[in-house]
């Protein structure tokens, strides 16, 4: 087994993962409440970019809080899925096969 080659491959993979993380900062996920009164945009890195609240939601604090919780959680789930799928793809594609470590990225 070529240890130096594997180390080089690991560094290359690490750089690709970092590049993918930076790219995920630019991937936008849009989510909205079922009635469209609340809209949220977050990045695939799970950073909130924008929140749009219909004026009718401003009249009821509890309702607005419920809308925010539900809609943010949906957006975060979507972003997490995209994030994990992208990073897993990079790691699996470029990782050298090291005996005994084949289950590490499943």
In the chain, where the domains are located = 14-94
CATH code assigned to 14-94: 3.30.1310.10
Helices (H), ranges, 1-106: 3-24, 61-94
90 Cβ contact partners less than 8 Å away, ≥ 6 residues apart: 13, 16, 17, 20
Nearest in space to 90 (alpha carbons), one of 22, 2, 4: 22
Q: How far apart, in whole angstroms, are the C-alpha atoms of residue 73 and residue 3?
A: 43
Nearest in space to 6 (alpha carbons), one of 103, 99, 104: 99
pLDDT tens digits for range 48-58: 999 999 999 99
* pTM for this model (two decimals): 0.73
User: Residue 41: pLDDT above 60?
Assistant: yes
């Amino acid at each position: 087994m070529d240890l130096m080659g594997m180390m080089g491959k690991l560094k290359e993979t690490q750089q690709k993962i970092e590049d993918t993380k930076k790219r995920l900062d630019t991937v936008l996920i849009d989510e909205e409440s079922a009635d469209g009164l609340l809209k949220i945009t977050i990045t695939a890195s799970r950073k909130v970019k924008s929140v749009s609240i219909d004026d009718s939601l401003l009249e009821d604090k509890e309702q607005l809080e419920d809308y925010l919780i539900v809609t943010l959680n949906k957006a975060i789930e979507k972003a997490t899925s995209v994030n994990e799928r992208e990073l897993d793809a990079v790691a699996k594609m470029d990782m050298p096969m090291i005996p005994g470590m084949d289950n590490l990225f499943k």
